[in-house]
């Protein structure tokens, strides 16, 4: 292990990074709360300010991926498609197989200048997650319980509210509804067989309602749908904890652009279009499994310095007083102060670990395939 790799593995450094993220996030959330007074006066100004506040938080996670772990992202697409990145409202359809798939999406958003205005159709449980859920709330993220009768009014009103969004946005949809696991895949393919739909090898059966509703509500605003299929070199199984430990991954993303005009307006035909799209995504993953890459030309967008500068600014602002305080505690010799500071460090480490746990496959709760849950639905 090299010196740099050893330093990245040190728990104290990881804890300091987590401290900067959490404290800066709380400051940014409070600032977002203060901007709420602008909503009835100037809604678009409120949105522009919150887009930049969100960027200051999300870019710290992107910094971990790009600068701390050095993870590489390669796009498999044509230049004509890349030339439109960050210049139009779009819907993103991404496979949900990995713990850091959202982070790979965010790094692409950052490199094309739309990280702060990125959107997602998120499960309602995430609204309760400190920093992440709170920031999303101020960004007008659409939350759903995945029970359509309960979600209908909330989803329609949330999506319609975004029609006049002033910044170009990428609206992310995980059409599979939950992260891929072997157990969920078996259940999903049983459903596919019962409905007479072609079976998928690398994906769950897509849930069409979210896609058709989003497209219907945002038609006239979004110009295209980007189909993004993600995989990693050498059969890597990346985790956020691995990123924090400085482990480098190599991500490949196949991106295809579909103009909205080419997608059927009729709900049933639109659903059929989505099922066909997932069959094509499955074929792309099969190609990757055999060849170790996606078909087509490759483009490697360069990482930008702004994520690193943003983190260094927050680190300078927040770590200086923390280090001074820690030194004062040590030289004071007071057992009470030292014990109190140690308790603070333990609580901080647990808090950071719990935030990381939100992304872990084994801890992402889902009622997918739960027959009791189906009965309740």
Return the DSSP state at 259: E
Q: What pLDDT is stored for residue 38 in this prediction?
A: 97
Beta strand extents in 153-249 (DSSP E only): 170-173, 224-232
**46-102: pLDDT as tens digits:** 999 999 999 999 999 999 999 999 999 999 999 999 999 999 999 999 999 999 999
Confidence of residue 355 (pLDDT cuts 50, 70, 90): low
Q: What's the rounded Cα separation, in Å, for the pair 218 and 92?
A: 13
Q: What pLDDT is stored for residue 136 in this prediction?
A: 95
**Mean pLDDT, all residues of the chain:** 89
Task: Give the pairing of strands 170-173 and 90-94.
Answer: parallel
Q: Name the helix (H) or strand (E) containing 299.
A: strand 298-299
Is pLDDT of 352 > 80? no
Q: What's the rounded Cα separation, in Å, for the pair 202 and 278?
A: 9
Confidence of residue 366 (pLDDT cuts 50, 70, 90): low
Rounded mean pLDDT, 99-107: 93
Q: What pLDDT is stored for residue 157 in this prediction?
A: 92
The pTM (predicted TM-score) of the whole model is: 0.89
Three-class SS state of 140: coil
Beta strand extents in 21-128 (DSSP E only): 72-76, 90-94, 119-123
Q: What pLDDT is stored for residue 341 in this prediction?
A: 73
Q: What's the rounded Cα separation, in Å, for the pair 62 and 227?
A: 21
Cα 29–Cα 168–Cα 48 angle in degrees, nearest 5: 35
Q: What's the rounded Cα separation, in Å, for the pair 347 and 353?
A: 10
Instruction: Map tokens 């609580």 to a residue.
Output: 347
Q: What pLDDT is stored for residue 369 in this prediction?
A: 52
Task: Give the pairing of strands 224-232 and 142-144.
Answer: unpaired
**75-89: pLDDT as tens digits:** 999 999 999 999 999
Confidence of residue 345 (pLDDT cuts 50, 70, 90): confident
Q: In the numeric block, which tokens belong to residue 38?
A: 């602008």
Task: Give the pairing of strands 224-232 and 250-259.
Answer: antiparallel
* For the chain, domain boundaries: 71-304
**230-240: pLDDT as tens digits:** 999 999 999 99
Nearby residues of 300 by Cβ (< 8 Å), 6 or more positions away:
72, 73, 74, 75
Share of the chain above pLDDT 70, in %: 93
Confidence of residue 368 (pLDDT cuts 50, 70, 90): low
Return the DSSP state at 173: E
Confidence of residue 357 (pLDDT cuts 50, 70, 90): low
For 71-304, give the CATH class.
alpha beta
Q: What pLDDT is stored for residue 255 in this prediction?
A: 98
Is pLDDT of 356 > 70? no
In 71-181, alpha helices (H):
79-82, 101-111, 132-138, 148-161
Q: What's the rounded Cα separation, in Å, for the pair 360 and 239?
A: 7
Three-class SS state of 280: helix
**153-210: pLDDT as tens digits:** 889 999 999 999 999 999 999 999 889 999 999 999 999 999 999 999 999 999 999 9
**204-224: pLDDT as tens digits:** 999 999 999 999 999 999 999
**282-312: pLDDT as tens digits:** 999 999 999 999 999 999 999 999 999 999 9
For 266-298, b where at least 16 C-beta lie within 10 A, e where not — what string?
eeeebbebbbebbeebbebbebbeeeeebeeee
Q: What's the rounded Cα separation, in Å, for the pair 294 and 283?
A: 10
Q: What's the rounded Cα separation, in Å, for the pair 265 and 271?
A: 10
Would you call 363 exposed, middle or buried from its count of C-beta atoms within 10 A (0-12, 13-18, 19+)? exposed
Is pLDDT of 1 > 50? yes
Describe the strand order of the beta sheet including 142-144 as a list of residue ranges: 142-144, 119-123, 170-173, 90-94, 224-232, 250-259, 72-76, 298-299
Q: How many Å is the Cα radius of gyration of the chain?
A: 22
Q: In the numeric block, which tokens belong to residue 57?
A: 């938080």
Cα 13–Cα 19–Cα 24 angle in degrees, nearest 5: 135
């Amino acid at each position: 292990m090299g010196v740099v790799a050893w330093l990245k593995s040190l728990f104290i450094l990881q804890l300091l990074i987590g401290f900067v993220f959490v404290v800066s996030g709380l400051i940014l959330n409070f600032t977002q709360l203060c901007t709420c007074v602008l909503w009835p006066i100037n809604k678009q100004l409120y949105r522009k300010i919150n887009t930049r506040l969100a960027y200051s938080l999300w870019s710290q996670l992107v910094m971990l991926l790009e600068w701390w772990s050095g993870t590489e992202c390669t796009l498999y697409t044509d230049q004509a498609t890349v030339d439109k990145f960050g210049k139009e409202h779009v819907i993103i359809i991404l496979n949900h197989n990995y713990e850091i798939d959202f982070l790979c999406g965010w790094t692409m958003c950052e490199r094309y200048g739309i990280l702060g205005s990125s959107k997602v159709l998120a499960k309602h449980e995430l609204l309760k997650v400190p920093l992440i859920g709170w920031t999303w709330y101020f960004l007008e993220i659409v939350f759903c319980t995945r029970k359509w009768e309960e979600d209908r009014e909330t989803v329609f009103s949330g999506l319609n509210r975004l029609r006049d969004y002033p910044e170009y946005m990428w609206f992310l949809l995980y059409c599979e509804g939950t992260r891929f696991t072997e157990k969920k895949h078996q259940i999903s393919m049983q459903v596919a067989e019962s409905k007479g739909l072609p079976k998928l090898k690398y994906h769950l059966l897509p849930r069409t309602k979210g896609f058709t509703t989003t497209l219907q509500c945002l038609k006239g605003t979004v110009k295209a749908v980007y189909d993004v299929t993600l995989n990693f070199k050498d059969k890597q199984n990346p985790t956020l904890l691995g990123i924090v430990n400085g482990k480098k991954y190599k991500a490949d993303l196949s991106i295809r652009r579909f103009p909205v005009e080419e997608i059927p307006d009729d709900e049933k035909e639109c659903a059929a279009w989505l099922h066909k799209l997932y069959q094509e995504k499955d074929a792309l993953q099969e190609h990757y499994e055999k060849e170790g890459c996606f078909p087509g030309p490759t483009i490697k967008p360069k990482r930008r310095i702004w994520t690193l500068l943003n983190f260094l600014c927050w680190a300078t602002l927040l770590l200086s007083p923390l280090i001074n305080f820690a030194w004062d505690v040590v030289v004071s010799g007071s057992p009470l102060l030292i014990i109190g500071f140690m308790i603070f460090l333990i609580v901080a480490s647990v808090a950071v670990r719990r935030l990381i746990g939100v992304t872990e496959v084994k801890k992402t709760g889902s009622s997918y395939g739960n027959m009791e849950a189906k009965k309740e639905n």
